[in-house]
Amino acid sequence: MGSTITRGRLTRGAAILGLLLLTGCGHPYVSPILPGPYRETFDAPTNTVWQAMIRVFARENFPLKAIARDSGVLASDDLPTMIGLYADCGSFGGSRVEGQALVNFTIFVHAVDSSHTQVQINTKMRTELYGWSAVFGGGVKPRTPLSCSTTGRWEANLMDAIRAALGP
């Protein structure tokens, strides 16, 4: 009877040790904090801002899937970008997620008054082609989709381009 108790303790101890080893090798995924929508107000009428924005999209060759001028909405197809440039996809342990993210945006343009227009950009990002540091056996390859958040650079660059298209 004594050897049965000892064997049971050894089996239980080995199972606990194995579980601890597997847990120690795991990399907890830390998702990025999602920011709110990006907003900016321009000192120009809505039609002028809308036309400048369409010129910017045409010049930059952005793939748009919906343009509704009457409601002031623009929506894009997926745009690929490198993670870290415009997208933050979190980390596994201490290693940042690397690879490629797909970004799509919805832009709302509305008049604040007759000479001021507000532009709001809602951005949605995800990645299916990613990895993390090669030290942990990562490497960029297709994986389970992750949600990403924006770094704010793409939106700021778009607003700068619209401002430049509006002129002085």
Distance CA 59, CA 45 (A): 21
Amino acid 138: pLDDT: 59
In a domain, 19, yes or no: no
In a domain, 3, yes or no: no
In a domain, 42, yes or no: yes
Distance CA 118, CA 159 (A): 11
Q: Is 16 exposed, middle or buried (0-12, 13-18, 19+ CB in 10 A)?
A: exposed
Mean pLDDT for the stretch of residues 112-134: 86
In a domain, 74, yes or no: yes
In a domain, 31, yes or no: yes
Amino acid 147: pLDDT: 87
Question: In the predicted model, what is the mean pLDDT of the chain?
Answer: 81
In a domain, 89, yes or no: yes
Q: Write the pLDDT tens digit of every residue in 135-148.
A: 555 567 777 888 88
Asked whether the predicted pLDDT for residue 129 surpasses 90, the reply is no
Name which of 28, 41, 108 is nearest 71 in CA terms.
108
DSSP per residue, 103-117:
EEEEEEEEEEETTEE
Q: Write the pLDDT tens digit of every residue in 45-99.
A: 999 999 999 999 999 888 899 999 999 999 999 888 888 888 888 887 777 888 8
Q: Write the pLDDT tens digit of every residue in 4-13.
A: 555 556 567 6
Enter the pTM of the model.
0.72
The first and second tokens of residue 112, run together, are 């604040």
CATH code, domain carrying 74: 3.30.530.50
In a domain, 9, yes or no: no
Distance CA 157, CA 34 (A): 19
**What residues make up the domain containing 143?**
27-166
Number of domains in the chain: 1
Amino acid 95: pLDDT: 78
pLDDT band at 42 (very low <50, low <70, confident <90, very high): very high
In a domain, 22, yes or no: no
